[in-house]
Structure 1
Amino acid sequence: MKTQIFIAALFFSGFAFAQEKKTDSIKTQKIEEVVMKKQVFKKQSDRFVYDVAASPVTKGNTTFDLLRQTPLLSTTDDKTLKIAGKNNALIFINGRKSNMDVESLAQFLKNTPAENIQKIEVITVPGSEFQVESSDGIINIVLKKKMSDGLNGNMRMSNSQNKYNGTSASFSANYRKDKLGISANLYGGENIQAQHYILRNGNSSSSNESTGNIDDPNQYIGGYVNFDYQLTEKSNLGLSWNTNANKSYNSTVNLFNTIRSLDPKTNQYNINYTNSRNNEDARSYNNSLNLNYELKTDSLGSKLNVNAAYLNYKRFQFTDNKTYFADAFGNDLSLGQTIIQNLPQKINNFSGMVDYIKKFKNDFTLSIGGNFNKTKTDNDTKNDTYRENPAPPLEAEENNPNHFIYDENIYGFYLTAEKKFSDKFSGKIGTRYEITNSLGTSDNAAPEYRKIERDYNNLLPYVSLNYAINDKNNISYAFSSRMRRPSFWELNPVRNILTEDNYTQNNPFVKASSSYNQELTYMFKNSYFLILNHSLLKDVITQVPLQRDILKDRRDAEGNIVIDPLTNLPIKDAHKQLRYIRTNFGDKQEMSAMLGMQKTFFNQYLTTNFNIGVQRNVNNGSLSVDPTSGDVFPTYENKISSTSILIQTNNTIRLDKKKTWFLGINYFFVDKQQIELGMLKNLSSLDVSLKKNWNDWTFALNLTDVLRTNIVEIEDYQANGNYNYVRNDQFRRGGTFSITYNFGNQKVKKVRDIEGASDAIKSRTR
């Protein structure tokens, strides 16, 4: 709460800057009216450009809100963004990859004002100069650049109500004086991420069902400080520091489990009930420092960029997983088992990057560069199991510590050549060569698993062609090959326990996967577009559900072992064990066709972007052995194809002539489709917003998932009789009320944003 109070104080102190001249306001309004008549969405070479600088949609919104309304972009989980036809989208700012994990990045985007954005670039097939992985696309946020000295900033406070209430606040400021520019941002908040689960798995002879809630309270604070100094007319020196901290104490899992097993003697089901009551305390820290030097070498725009960076990431996680014997009504009877886990993760990364762009007078550009990343992760895991019945032992019955250290060195080199042959035709060709050396060591594993060494080289070509048939028609083609390295947390061989018989298992043997992507785009009048995409992914990195029967002692309602009177031995029942194994799982093809429109109607009273498309997934994966232990399971197979429809529409309606009232109506629908875990049922969401602009203030009310249809359901049926079902409700229906205030000289030039040398590594942290 202290964070919000502090930011609130900054918020109200901004009144000192409120005395802007009315003439400046009138000029600004006139400029906006002129700019709005420009082409807001267009195709340029290798990217789509959405010009939002003068759009009233930006005012009072967050960057995340604006991205959700950008053509081709969507989100189904209110956390990550996707480009149509792509698995994932990476966020860049002025060509610099963001430096935060998924949770921190979502908070950053939701607390950064959209008023600072000049345009959004959607790069569906990134070139060789970008350090991206797999079939990822890029969302590049280009900030405004203004010319005069002075100070300006934004302040925002919001309150959200879903299942629980959450608050957030942010303060950002930009200052420029002569050769020095300083940019700073501070944000913080608290919320409880709530989820409700229904989990079912098994077959006709044994099955598990778990239902209940997960509540994850979070308190976070973060921000950045950027310094940019102009050494000479041709050179700049920049220093940036980014930080984020998150605390999640007393995160709880409460699941009621029903375990059924068929008794072959009586042909009747024996039913046992347990409760999984888990408590977790976690905190994480993410800090990065980047030093940049830029030198302009000629008047054509040629320049040299040099970066050096350091990244430090720490996460400390302590979990207490308890299993209670229960009755049919869910009441605890006795404590059966306790598993205590200590799961720390530390990541240190040193990086360097050099890029040189040479421009020639004949519209020819040559780019060459290289990078080096040295990363060390340290995971000193403790895992102790205590069984309380029939008698508590003095020491843990199972003690499984594991100290896993992972060292990785990556060397990358790229070369691209871009040529504008005429006003109509241009092309770009390039290649990237990457060398990866890694070593993983574990001090408490089987001998064959104690040392895992990998060395591989990859040549990754790229080509794009763009042809403007005339001023209304444009066609382009692009091809690229990429690889995806596993995230550092995926390599740490630990179990994350949900219930006694249901857990996820990370895997140090996961190897890099490859992808080959091609795309054909046609655009008409910079308003209508057709995109055809094909991706081939080999050795897909994913999570595979393996389940098998294991024998356990039968327990009575009090948790006591049931003894067979004839043999005087414990009676054994078959229990279904479910492991979600992180591993490489065969190949996959994704094909899509997307038809879209971005246009204004009725004298700009209605602005709409609409996408409709079809996507086909072709899966080809099979797994029967847990690669981390060698345990054999009935084969899990996914060789199913599916075809699905995708619809997205975002609409902004201006309600008055003065452009002060706006109504937003957004909707998306994703048809059911086959993914690695099974058949993902359809998802949809209707969102409504109302916004009022009043001088430098903006008041906004956003309602999300009004119809409560954005709930994840996955079901899978195997030929061997096993089935698996997951229903995950994250209570996305809710509302957010926000107040935004802009202060200061709005002509301040933004600090030069710098691409960090370690940015390619940061996305692989948790």
Structure 2
Amino acid sequence: MKKLIISLSLLTGFVVFAQKGEQSDSTKVKDIQEVVMTKKVFQKKSDRFIYDVAASPVAKGNTAFGLLKETPLISSTDDKTLRIAGKSNAVIFIDGRVTQMDAESLVQFLKNTPAENIQRIEVITMPGSEYKVESSDGIINIVLKKKSSNGLNGSMRMNNQQNYYNSTGAGLSLNYRKDKLGINTNINTSENIREEYYILKNGNSESANRSEGRITDPNKDLGGYLNIDYQLNDKNSLALTYNSWANRSYNSTANLFNTTTDLVKQETDYTWTKSKEDARSYNNSMNLNYELKTDSLGSKLNLNVAGLFYKRLQSSNNFTIASDQYRNDNGNVIKIYQEQPQRINNFSATADYVQKFKKDLAVSVGGNFNKTKTDNDTKYDTYNFQKDSLVSEPNHFLYDENIFGAYVTVEKVFSPKFSGKIGARYELTQSEGNSDNAQDENLRNIKRDYDKLLPYLSLNYAINEKNNLSYAFSSRMRRPSFWELNPVKNILTEFNYIQNNPFVKASSVYSHELTYMYKSSYFLILSHTLTKDEITQVPLQGVINGKNQLRYIRTNFGDNQEMSAMLGMQKSFFKGYLSSNFNIGIQRNINNGSLSQDPLTGDIFPLYENNIKSNSFLIQTNNNIQLDKNKTWFLGVNYFYVDKQQIELGQLHSLMSLDFNLKKLWNQWTFSLGLDDVLNTNKVIIEDYQKNGNYNYVNQNQYNRGVELTIVYNFGNQKVKKVRSIDSADKEIKSRTK
């Protein structure tokens, strides 16, 4: 059931310009490093935007996640995922290197990392060939403050948040440096109950279905990391990074009341769907890094080896219960019992070398290898109380994947005004999926062997001190997440479920971006993205075996184009008393896909089509107001509005949220009170109407309105130098585990 929650909650991810992405990939939020806040300066340099934040009061008492939400071009509508304007996902780097955590763990890590540690935030909307990222991913690179003296420092953080239920969290961060040795560690814990309310409607001229009710998901999290960095001499360094995260979600429940009407016979049936799920997951990863500086110009060799071990244990009982219009319990009809364990083991290695030349020329070459094994031993039993019959449909799905990659980039500064970078990445993927006991012969062995050459180009021209113009072209692949390939059902009701698909293949993404910036404060971004073989969910609806069914099928669904134009501003007013960033933009979506057959069962449904062109409108602004001369009181006012837009599942209604934050700085203490979604408008509604008469409606309320109190205390020697952050060899694989 939790996978169902994850899949449906991805609907909240369409923030800036209909940004799509699977939660499981929504989940593709990755590592973060330092962010500096001295002066709120936003500027375009080469292939990235730079947000200088080191001395800004916005950072005081804030978290890395909260700070990122206030960064130009970055947004979040669900407080779980970060998005870059026009991009599917935001991949998080820290000091130019990716962390080892999976998406869910990383979010908690960011929410417990003090923003005071951040020097600047770099937003890379079009990553070069040297970055191992997928599809239309953008990169958020957090650059940490570099401090000089030996000693120990740290911070303690406590927060309490009230939405539908109360949630709590606490964290401790420590940083120690002694000459050549640096140790950095963090441990944090949180406890919350996620509450969601659904209204689901579907049908056609012959039948109508409605399901309404709650999904309640309790969670306890415990995690942390340890970084050890030792400088052997002036040229050689070693570093070891270990990350661990555990989640427990016991007694997660769904209670949905279902109304099914036969419009021909004028008959109505009533049932309850009641589910209970227990799940726990563990993520442990380790990375060993060696760095060799080969000259005084900055040339260096980086070697990484990493291991990642992910385990998720999940079991659930799903009951269909007879009822009447008064919602009485009239006895069990169907029981579906599922066990869905998943184990993922990965070994990764990378080698990167950059050679810098005196005449402003740099050549980078590198390669990577990833070997992943997944084991999904699913149990699926259906018991019919009326017939006293039991049907078992087990599925043991094993998936092995090897990825080989190599790249070369050449970066040249032709003049003080003009620079460029050209590169290419080659990737070879070999995979094999096996089901020991699959009911379908086609699922017992699925082999894939494909390669791709991915070119990249970027140009930057500083017209003068006030005007800057840049262009970039990028090509990428988007591989399916491991859970998307596991052919299991995630049940909402007996005839309404999500079906994963081992036949999903990688999609290709081609992007263009033209950027103009004026006075390092105003910018215009024009972009175009073409996605071929889009990976998404498609709602197939029809009468199968005498019952109207709705299946959300994971599949490749045609091609998609996105064209966008965005105007933005990052500026301070009234002698710094008001700092504001403001974005306004439009986007045009062109969808072109159709599907009628369930790829696993072969069942034929009425054709589902999405050949719709749509335009949408966006406004987003973040404002920080200084309330006193001593710079101890601050008020934050944040707002976003996303117009209705066409996505693969139908038309997504407009989204809007108004948030406030009041902050008090007192010596080493920071007190913060936040009010989120004050107008209670951040809700997801999707509607779809087909030519054949089928319709589908989803209304999801995640109870985003709430209040949060945070207390932060900083202690120790604040001049301690941060540990060197390491780029994990398995950074690309982590994002596909969730």
- Report TM bin, short chain: over 0.9
Q: How does 1:716-731 map onto structure 2 within 5 Å?
A: 716-731=688-703
- Does 2:728 align with 1:760? no
Q: Using the TM superposition, give the Cα deviation of residue 78 of structure 1 relative to its aligned residue in structure 2, in angstroms.
A: 1.1
Pairing 1:664–2:648 present: no
CA distance in 1, matches of 2:135, 2:529: 10
Deviates more, 1:96-105 or 1:198-207: 96-105
Q: Which position in structure 2 is the counterpart of 1:732?
A: 704
What's 1:200 paired with? 201
Cα deviation for residue 339 of structure 1 reads: 0.3
Q: Quick one: distance in 2 between partners of 1:96 and 1:211?
A: 45
**TM-score (normalised: structure 2):** 0.94
Determine the structure 2 residue equivalent to 1:185: 186
Letter of the 2:193 counterpart: I
2:382 alignment partner AA: T
CA distance in 1, matches of 2:725, 2:173: 15
C-alpha distance in 2 between matches for 1:314 and 1:44: 41
Q: Is the 8 A contact 1:39 1:526 kept in 2?
A: no
The correspondence for 2:618, drawn from 646, 666, 678, is: 646
1:568 paired residue number: none
Partner residue of 2:401? 408
Alignment of 1:244-393 (within 5 A): 244-263=245-264, 268-390=265-387, 392-393=388-389
| Offset of residue 262 of structure 1 | 2.8
- Within a 5 Å distance, the mapping from 1:501-540 to structure 2 comes to 501-540=495-534
Q: Which residue of 1 aligns with 2:7?
A: none
Deviations 1:565-611 (A, max 9, x none): xxxxxxxxx53200000000000000100000000000000000000
The alignment status of 1:422 with 2:415, answered yes or no, reads: yes
Write the letter of the residue equivalent to 2:480: P
Structure 2 match to 1:478? 472
Aligned to 1:433: 426
Q: Deviations over 1:45-67 (max 9, x none)?
A: 00000011111110000111101
1:100 Cα deviation after fit: 2.7
Q: Do the aligned residues in 2 keep the contact of 1:206 with 1:575 (CA within 8 Å)?
A: no
Q: CA deviation at 1:629?
A: 1.5
1:35 offset after TM fit, Å?
Answer: 8.1
Q: What letter is aligned with 2:557?
A: F
CA distance in 1, matches of 2:208, 2:281: 37
Shift of 1:99: 2.9
Select which of 674, 678, 681 maps to 1:709.
Answer: 681
Amino acid at match of 2:192: N
Q: Is the 8 A contact 2:323 2:329 kept in 1?
A: yes
From 669, 687, 693, give the equivalent of 1:697: 669
1:207–1:575 CA contact under 8 A, matched in 2:
no
What are the superposed Cα offsets for residues 690-731 of structure 1, whole Å, 9 maximum, x if unpaired?
000000000000110000000000000000000000000000
Deviations 1:470-502 (A, max 9, x none): 000000000010000000000000000010110
Separation in 2 of the partners of 1:378 and 1:635?
34
1:626 to 2:620 alignment:
no
Would you say the 8 A contact 1:206–1:549 is kept in 2? Answer: no
Distance 1:144 1:330, change over 3 A: same
1:102 Cα shift? 2.8
Match of 2:578 in 1: 606
Secondary structure of 2:331's partner?
Answer: strand
Cross-structure match for 2:139: 138
- What count of residue pairs does the alignment treat as equivalent? 702
Q: Contact 2:37 / 2:59 at 8 angstroms: preserved in 1? A: no
Q: Deviations over 1:290-328 (max 9, x none)?
A: 000000000000000000000000001101001100111
Are the counterparts in 2 of residues 238 and 291 from structure 1 also a CA contact under 8 Å?
yes
Write the distance in 1 (CA, Å) between the matches of 2:452 and 2:544.
42
More moved, 344-353 vs 104-113: 104-113
Paired amino acid for 2:434: T
Q: Identity of aligned pairs, percent?
A: 68
Secondary structure of the residue aligned to 1:332 is coil
Letter in 1 for 2:288: L
**Aligned residue number for residue 720 of structure 2:** 748
Contact 1:259/1:575 (8 A) holds in 2? no
Q: Distance in 1 between matches of 2:717 and 2:611?
A: 59
Counterpart amino acid of residue 510 in structure 2: Y
Aligned-residue offset at 1:90:
1.2
Provide, for residues 191-242 of structure 1, a one-character-per-residue CA deviation record: whole Å limited to 9, x for no partner.
0011000000011211210000000000000000000001111110000000
Question: Do the aligned residues in 2 keep the contact of 1:538 with 1:586 (CA within 8 Å)?
Answer: yes
Q: How does 1:113-262 map to 2 (within 5 A)?
A: 113-262=114-263
- Cα distance in 1 between the residues matched to 2:263 and 2:573: 65
Indicate conservation of the 8 Å contact 1:646/1:670, yes or no.
Answer: yes
Contact conserved, 1:667 with 1:685, CA < 8 A, in 2?
Answer: yes
In the alignment, which residue of structure 2 is the partner of 1:560? none
3-state SS of paired residue (1:105): helix
Where 1:107 maps in the other structure, the secondary structure is: helix
Question: How far apart, in 1, do the equivalents of 2:623 and 2:285 lie?
Answer: 38
Structure 2: how far apart are the matches of 1:736 and 1:39? 25
Deviation at 1:449, TM superposition (A): 1.9
Q: Give the secondary-structure state (helix, strand or coil) at the position aligned to 2:106.
A: helix
Contact 2:541 2:549 in 1 (8 A): yes
Q: Report the residue type matching 2:133 in the other structure.
A: V
- TM-score if structure 1 supplies the norm length? 0.91
What are the ranges of 5 or more consecutive residues in structure 1 without an aligned counterpart? 1-33, 552-573
Distance 1:115 1:703 in 2: 22
Aligned partner of 2:360: which letter?
D
Partner of 2:23: none
Give the greater-gyration-radius structure (CA): 1
- The C-alpha deviation readout for 1:332-360, integer Å capped at 9, x for no partner, is 11100100000000000000000001100
In the TM superposition, what is the alpha-carbon distance from 1:111 to its structure 2 partner? 1.3
Q: Which moved more, 1:625-634 or 1:219-228?
A: 625-634
1:673 paired residue among 620, 625, 645? 645
Partner SS for 1:760: helix
CA RMSD of aligned residues (A): 1.0
Shift of 1:109: 1.2
Aligned-pair CA distance for 1:85: 1.3
| Counterpart-to-counterpart distance in 1, 2:689 and 2:289 | 53
Question: Offset of 1:39 from its aligned partner?
Answer: 6.3
- Aligned equivalents of 1:481, 1:130: Cα separation in 2: 12
Once residues 575 and 349 of structure 1 are traced to their aligned partners in structure 2, the CA distance between those partners, rounded to angstroms, is 42
> What is the DSSP-based 3-state SS (H/G/I as helix, E as strand, rest coil) of the residue aligned with 2:362?
strand
What secondary structure, in the 3-state scheme, does the structure 2 residue paired with 1:108 have? helix
CA distance in 2, matches of 1:343, 1:96: 33
**Cα deviation per residue 1:623-679 (whole Å; 9 max; x = unaligned)?**
001111111111100000110001000000000011100000000000000000000
CA contact (8 A) 1:116 1:144 kept: yes
- Deviation of 1:96 after TM superposition, in Å, equals 1.8
Conservation of the 8 A alpha-carbon contact between 2:273 and 2:320: yes
CA distance in 1 between partners of 2:103 and 2:408 (Å): 30
Deviation digits for residues 445-469 of structure 1, max 9, x if unmatched? 2222210000001000000000000
CA distance in 2, matches of 1:611, 1:754: 33
The residue number in structure 2 matching 1:12 is: none
> In 1, Cα distance between the equivalents of 2:111 and 2:698?
29
Q: Is the 8 A contact 1:713 1:725 kept in 2?
A: yes
Q: In structure 1, the residue corresponding to 2:330 is in which secondary structure?
A: strand
Paired with 1:175 and 1:88, the residues of 2 have a C-alpha distance of: 33
Q: Is the 8 A contact 1:73 1:84 kept in 2?
A: yes
